[in-house]
A and B are shown apart, each in its own frame.
Chain A
Amino acid sequence: MALPVMATERAALILQLVPYIVGKGEVTLEQAARDFDVSVEDMRAMVEKLTVLGQPGDSGYWQMDDDLFQIDWDLLDERDVIALTNTVALERAPKLSAREAAALLAGLQLARSVPGIGDTALFDGLLRKLARGAADTPADVIVAPERVDEVRATVSEALRRGVAVSFAYHAPDAAPTRRTVDPVKVHIEGNDWYLQGWCHLREAMRTFHLERVSEVALTDIPIAHGAEPLPRLFEPGEYDPIVQLRFAADAQGLVGDILARADAVTVDGVTTATVRVADAQSVKRLVARRGGVIEVIAPPAARRAAAQWAQAGLEQYP
């Protein structure tokens, strides 16, 4: 049996803190707290704690100052800056644990599918370094390579070159439109790629699902609106319609990501979720996908649309 995870994690942070400070020389409490994902108070406590840690004393009981880590107290107390004045070990960063290496290796595999952000030599070199820097063999965590089609490649290139990209956009249940967009950010969410950028047609920041993009072309128009604030991905607008869905509480996993922003109430094992969606008609696609697991309760038009959608689908199979 190992110790409680918390204690082990705190020890791991301390083991990382020493080489971090050694590497920086001096670093503000605030910066260190940010880099370690802890509060400033926790960081101060961790730094103060260093001064009671160190080698066993020669006498067995009394540890001398040189046996312990020492910090510059004046710098800490007066300027909230961390600096070490004595170290007793741990100056170089520890090896990566198997899980740390696995997490980074998998992330790299996904990054690798983005056109133009690194060549094979760069990735291969990194993979070798991570493998050598790991204390134990990481579990194979594989991210299958993404298809890099013309749309993804062209959008990535427009982003790199800082020029607008032009394409046909076909949202579901709407007529296709021709768009010219100043690319600002490409989001890759699992298997789906989204482009966020300033749309010349709508004269506003918009999000485009790249699966719905076709006939893509680079333009020579330099980006002009890249600095405007970006909406959060999937953030519904305040005028978006509200739909109500009903499903068995243990089927939550099948409802998907929209549940994260829904108000959900569960009574007797049945969950009712209320959520804003960009298009109330579009939930017909979600409920048909889940075949009888999710029910649209409101609005009535969306409920009817779901029934008609399924019926029209069935009519193809006489």
Chain B
Amino acid sequence: MPADSDALKRSGGDAQRVRIPPEERLVNLTVALMSTQIGLTKDTVFTAVSGYREAGEDGAGRDALEKMFERDKQSLRELGLRIQTIGDYADPDDLREARYRIPQEEYELPADIVFTAAEIALLNLAGNVWQHSSLSAEARSGLRKIRALGGDVDEQIIGISPRINLHDAAFVPLQRAIEQCKAITFPYLKPGETAPVERRIRPLALIEYEGRWHVYGEDATARAPRTFLLSRIVGPVRMTREKFDASLRDGAGERALAGLEELAARQRALLEVHPGSEAALRLSRRVVVEDAPDQGIRVPFVDVHIFADELASYGPEVRVVDPPRLRDEVIRRLRATLALHSDDEGMS
């Protein structure tokens, strides 16, 4: 049987020692740390846990084993595993005799959490919204853990297929920085500007609004909350050494959403649309009914450039009356389009 021959190779003669892959060492370490009440010392880990033991026998020195242990602890933390360090009671900073363990209650999904069939059905729907983006694997992995609790319940809601588009490369590093409460910098290119400006923020929340992703955070220069479009982050998101207080994140998502909604309430365009056109159909759904103008419609917007993009696409179906900045942006797009497509002969 394969298991026996493997086991022999590993524990037997040193002529043919097999290197233990890191994932096996990680799982062995997890099992060992979970199976102890009083915790294991590093010495015990290094001599008894498979993976460390073999590395030690292969001549890895104490320093190398220490480094291996630190890396493994970091990897397990990223998987959401909490390793408890039990130090010397007399001197908590003295970690020479420290013991390590993973408390069962910290590791497992709490025993009283059960999911009903209706909840599993909703979670299946929620877990499939990410398509091929990086969050898809995370969502499916989370679903697997939840399904492992529930036996054979596997309800699906059919007929509905919600998807969230996520093309922005900045999303993952931003999410990581929020989790770790680290301030970040990134180059931000505003439309109409020729070069990006390096921004520094404490990122607090990610928010999808009208189909676009935004990051909300505390701007270091302005010392005030700001919202940035991910599509305008044109270079790498870099984590700084500054760690901020996690309490800044409390309620950040709601504050971000309220900020965008407040902006939309404040910025309203006055437009004239041709009845029956694509523009009329799409814009009329977003019209604010209170304080209706005598002529035309009033439509809220959050970003003048993005709204100008949309209005330009409607060509002659819509005319911007107000504000002038929006009108100028639409005219600029139409002029550029005309210039690019004007042929010497072809124009009528």
Contacts of B47 in A (CB 8 A): 60
What is the minimal beta-carbon distance from A44 to any residue of chain B, in angstroms? 10
> Does B157 interact with chain A (Cβ within 8 Å)?
yes
> Of the candidates B2, B108, B160, B175, which one forms a contact with A141 in the assembled complex, judged by CB atoms under 8 Å apart?
B175
* A interface size (C-beta, 8 A): 127
What is the minimal beta-carbon distance from A52 to any residue of chain B, in angstroms? 5
> B164's closest neighbor in chain A, by CB?
A110
> Of the candidates B148, B159, B179, B246, which one forms a contact with A93 in the assembled complex, judged by CB atoms under 8 Å apart?
B148
Contacts of B61 in A (CB 8 A): none
**How long is the Cα–Cα vector from A61 to B7 in the complex, in angstroms?**
11
> Does B146 interact with chain A (Cβ within 8 Å)?
yes
What is the minimal beta-carbon distance from A194 to any residue of chain B, in angstroms? 9
Contacts of B23 in A (CB 8 A): 7-8, 10-11, 14
> Of the candidates B35, B126, B333, which one forms a contact with A111 in the assembled complex, judged by CB atoms under 8 Å apart?
B126
Contacts of B1 in A (CB 8 A): 73
Contacts of B332 in A (CB 8 A): 291
Contacts of A310 in B (CB 8 A): 315, 334-335, 337-338, 341
Stretch at the interface among B86-94, B194-202, B204-212: B204-212
Q: Do the beta carbons of B27 and A53 come within 8 Å of each other?
A: yes
**How long is the Cα–Cα vector from A126 to B127 in the complex, in angstroms?**
13
Q: Do the beta carbons of B113 and A133 come within 8 Å of each other?
A: yes
Q: Do the beta carbons of A191 and B210 come within 8 Å of each other?
A: yes
Q: Do the beta carbons of A98 and B80 come within 8 Å of each other?
A: yes
Q: Do the beta carbons of B327 and A317 come within 8 Å of each other?
A: yes
Chain B proximity mask over A36-57: 1 for CB below 8 Å, otherwise 0: 1100000000001101111111
Chain B proximity mask over A97-140: 1 for CB below 8 Å, otherwise 0: 11111111111101100100110001101100100111111111
**How long is the Cα–Cα vector from A290 to B306 in the complex, in angstroms?**
10
**How long is the Cα–Cα vector from A140 to B151 in the complex, in angstroms?**
30
**How long is the Cα–Cα vector from A284 to B1 in the complex, in angstroms?**
67
Q: Do the beta carbons of B211 and A192 come within 8 Å of each other?
A: yes
A residues 149-187 touching B (CB-CB < 8 Å)? 149, 156, 159-160, 170, 172-173, 176, 183-187
Q: Do the beta carbons of B315 and A312 come within 8 Å of each other?
A: yes
> Does B32 interact with chain A (Cβ within 8 Å)?
yes
Q: Do the beta carbons of B210 and A144 come within 8 Å of each other?
A: yes
Q: Do the beta carbons of B50 and A107 come within 8 Å of each other?
A: no
Q: Do the beta carbons of A159 and B159 come within 8 Å of each other?
A: yes
> B167's closest neighbor in chain A, by CB?
A253
**How long is the Cα–Cα vector from A22 to B149 in the complex, in angstroms?**
9
**How long is the Cα–Cα vector from A89 to B159 in the complex, in angstroms?**
40
> Does B11 interact with chain A (Cβ within 8 Å)?
yes
Contacts of B310 in A (CB 8 A): 289
Chain B proximity mask over A17-29: 1 for CB below 8 Å, otherwise 0: 0011011100000
Contacts of B143 in A (CB 8 A): 104
Contacts of A186 in B (CB 8 A): 159-161
Q: Do the beta carbons of A126 and B162 come within 8 Å of each other?
A: no
User: Given A11-B27, A309-B315 in contact, is the A73-B3 Cβ separation under 8 Å?
Assistant: yes
Q: Do the beta carbons of B342 and A144 come within 8 Å of each other?
A: no
> Does B313 interact with chain A (Cβ within 8 Å)?
yes
Q: Do the beta carbons of A7 and B109 come within 8 Å of each other?
A: no
> B338's closest neighbor in chain A, by CB?
A310
Contacts of B3 in A (CB 8 A): 48, 51-52, 73
> Does B231 interact with chain A (Cβ within 8 Å)?
yes
Main secondary structure of the interface of B (DSSP, over half): helix
> Does B107 interact with chain A (Cβ within 8 Å)?
yes
Q: Do the beta carbons of A88 and B31 come within 8 Å of each other?
A: yes
> B71's closest neighbor in chain A, by CB?
A3
**How long is the Cα–Cα vector from A184 to B129 in the complex, in angstroms?**
18
> Does B299 interact with chain A (Cβ within 8 Å)?
no
A residues 208-229 touching B (CB-CB < 8 Å)? 211-212, 214
B residues 10-62 touching A (CB-CB < 8 Å)? 10-11, 21-24, 26-28, 30-32, 34-35, 44, 47-50, 53
* B interface size (C-beta, 8 A): 131
What is the minimal beta-carbon distance from B101 to any residue of chain A, in angstroms? 12
> B28's closest neighbor in chain A, by CB?
A53
**How long is the Cα–Cα vector from A10 to B254 in the complex, in angstroms?**
36
What is the minimal beta-carbon distance from B206 to any residue of chain A, in angstroms? 5
> Of the candidates A55, A306, A317, which one forms a contact with B337 in the assembled complex, judged by CB atoms under 8 Å apart?
A306
Contacts of B28 in A (CB 8 A): 53-54, 56
User: Given A98-B80, A292-B336 in contact, is the A35-B160 Cβ separation under 8 Å?
Assistant: no
Q: Do the beta carbons of B333 and A291 come within 8 Å of each other?
A: yes
What is the minimal beta-carbon distance from B70 to any residue of chain A, in angstroms? 8
> Does B293 interact with chain A (Cβ within 8 Å)?
no
> Does A202 interact with chain B (Cβ within 8 Å)?
no
Q: Do the beta carbons of A139 and B175 come within 8 Å of each other?
A: yes
> Does A261 interact with chain B (Cβ within 8 Å)?
no
What is the minimal beta-carbon distance from A132 to any residue of chain B, in angstroms? 6
For the complex with contacts A1-B71, A7-B22, A141-B253, 10 further pairs of A-B residues with Cβ separation under 8 Å are A53-B31, A55-B35, A88-B31, A101-B142, A103-B136, A111-B162, A117-B157, A185-B159, A289-B313, A303-B343
Name 27 A/B residue pairs within 8 A (Cβ), A-sorted. Answer: A3-B75, A7-B75, A52-B6, A52-B10, A53-B24, A53-B27, A94-B79, A94-B80, A96-B109, A101-B142, A103-B138, A106-B129, A107-B128, A122-B122, A139-B249, A142-B206, A143-B164, A159-B159, A185-B159, A187-B162, A188-B160, A212-B278, A212-B282, A288-B312, A289-B333, A292-B333, A307-B343
A interface residues with partner B (beta carbon < 8 Å):
1-4, 7-8, 10-12, 14-16, 19-20, 22-24, 35-37, 48-49, 51-57, 60-63, 73, 88-90, 92-108, 110-111, 114, 117-118, 122-123, 125-126, 129, 132-144, 147, 149, 156, 159-160, 170, 172-173, 176, 183-192, 211-212, 214, 253, 284-293, 295-296, 300, 303-304, 306-317
